[in-house]
Structure 1
């Protein structure tokens, strides 16, 4: 794992957790945990101490986290890890069970000998490069800053800007402007009031058309774009 300031490609820390001894690398903080159980616990304690505001990874919700959750459950430390990493403690039976895929690292280094220290150094290098590349890509495309701008304008959390559709942003933005005009709105889907209020569901398509975002205005090919420009 690598630790960064939001817009800084240079890591503050590079931490590599291993369950067996590996060749030393002065660039990394290498923690030899001895076994998989201690490695998972060390990961949870690092997370707890660092308390990151934002976590990013390449396809980690489809591979890394499912693998960690399933492995922790098999080793009997899932509840312990979850309660050290989360602000809201939870019992084991309420923690979602995930599925994971086969080991991908072997695909990159099929000829490496598992008994050699160099093999495990190659594994750790792959993991660190993977983490660093994700940060570099995020900075290049200005992802977090754009999400923060949307969150500020639409009065929603940074989490909601990423995981929820644009309907929530439109509803919050309209409600905020209505509040400035002294209009009280409701986000409850079932209409309970007897008075007449603006229908946000009908305003939404009009808003899309106003900002030229309707599907019939999307250009999907360079050839079509050049023909319209000419």
Structure 2
């Protein structure tokens, strides 16, 4: 599991700087994103040229959450529709909350509504696999290792609608501490650890981009 909350790939700094020096304030030449190898995410995509807003403003879109197909085949008949809706809403909101917290630490103004002069962040949780979902309050499974796995997809769009950065990662939850029962609260705690880490790292990479943009603007 890739838990990094303070340092990001040093090679990306120089690469991003070169991209920004060349493309700052220019119209995007291509919508195709370039793949960059980083330690923190399975996939890291960056636009070859882009424009960032003058101010640090961002709106986080409604999150998308989907259960894994294999999970649905095994547990759809064992869980209620209400349970699945509650879980999707709670997990999506938890991701949004961690993203907002991480962005605010880098002095981003997280807006309550979309704006024509703000970034747009589209968060997705897919392939959600809760190994032992809570099927009833009295029927809970003892967990000895992990509570599940999920894939995150975070796309950052410029005010003109261009995807400038996108990160994706599929991870198992951390190993449980001691022995815990699989219920809604305990499952969310460990999935939340993943979301918190992803949010911190995505915000750190966005901060790298913004810092370089601000440096170049100051030279003009």
TM-score greater than 0.5 by the shorter chain: no
Bigger share in strand: 2
Bigger share in helix: 1
- TM-score normalised by structure 1 residue count: 0.26
- Determine which structure has more spread, i.e. the larger CA radius of gyration: 1
Q: Which one has more relative contact order, counting CA pairs under 8 Å at least 6 apart? A: 2
